Structure 1
Amino acid sequence: MDVKGKVEGELNKMDSEKKEDILKNFTSFKDYLSDKVNKGEKLGLSEEQLTKATEYVAGYLAKHEEPKNREQYVLQELWKVGDKEEQKALSSLLLKLVKAE
């Protein structure tokens, strides 16, 4: 299974209560993403694969979830107005943000 399939599978099987806990504030979202990035690195995923996975998560959230806070709202709005390259850049920056913590 490819990275996209794994990400989609993980997001689809997550119950709404768990999603709510993750998305309730930006810190919990970053913590969740950071944990997944760490697991991906331990599995040997490349930076490009991690960026792709972050891109899929961001795209999923932009399409399927209402922002729960100002930070998520800004990210969603940036995602919507960006083209594919800009979305990839935003995903890369989000990845750097969670890796820096």
Structure 2
Amino acid sequence: MAVLDNFEQWKEFLHNRVNQAETLGMDRENISELAYQLGDYLAQDIDPQNREEHLLKDLWNCANEEEQKIMANLMVKLVNDGK
């Protein structure tokens, strides 16, 4: 996936998807749940393409489910509120 090659591009991609979901009326809780599902998929099925993704995968893999959900929520906040 080309968007994974650069972490800033990945954050911009996520930012656009979060904005799109909010525009369609999805609330932050549902967006965070989707982010959790995406994070789990990426950690299990996609090889990290840069050092940031390696770090996120390592953190994800050592976290329990509750911590992973917190990480997913933080990613949503990072790409939306942190811009």
Please state which band the TM-score falls in when normalised by the shorter chain. over 0.9
Q: 1:76 is matched with which residue?
A: 57
Q: 1:90 is matched with which residue?
A: 71
- 2:25 is matched by which residue type in structure 1? G
User: In the alignment, which of 63, 68, 71 is matched to residue 44 of structure 2?
Assistant: 63
1:33 aligns with 2:14: yes
CA deviations over 1:12-49 (Å, ceiling 9, x no partner): xxxxxxx2x11001011101111110000001111100
Q: Percent identity?
A: 35
User: Which consecutive unaligned segments of at least 5 residues does structure 1 have?
Assistant: 1-18
- Alpha-carbon distance between aligned partners in 2 of 1:28 and 1:62, rounded to the nearest angstrom: 18
- Alpha-carbon distance between aligned partners in 2 of 1:61 and 1:32, rounded to the nearest angstrom: 15
- 2:74 is matched by which residue type in structure 1? L
Give the superposed CA RMSD. Answer: 0.7
1:49 aligns with 2:30: yes
- Alpha-carbon distance between aligned partners in 2 of 1:87 and 1:49, rounded to the nearest angstrom: 15
- Alpha-carbon distance between aligned partners in 2 of 1:78 and 1:86, rounded to the nearest angstrom: 9
Runs (4+) off by over 6 Å: none
User: Which consecutive unaligned segments of at least 5 residues does structure 2 have?
Assistant: none
Q: Secondary structure at the match of 2:19?
A: helix
Give TM-score, length-normalised by structure 1. 0.79
Which protein has greater RCO, CA pairs closer than 8 Å, 6+ apart?
Answer: 2
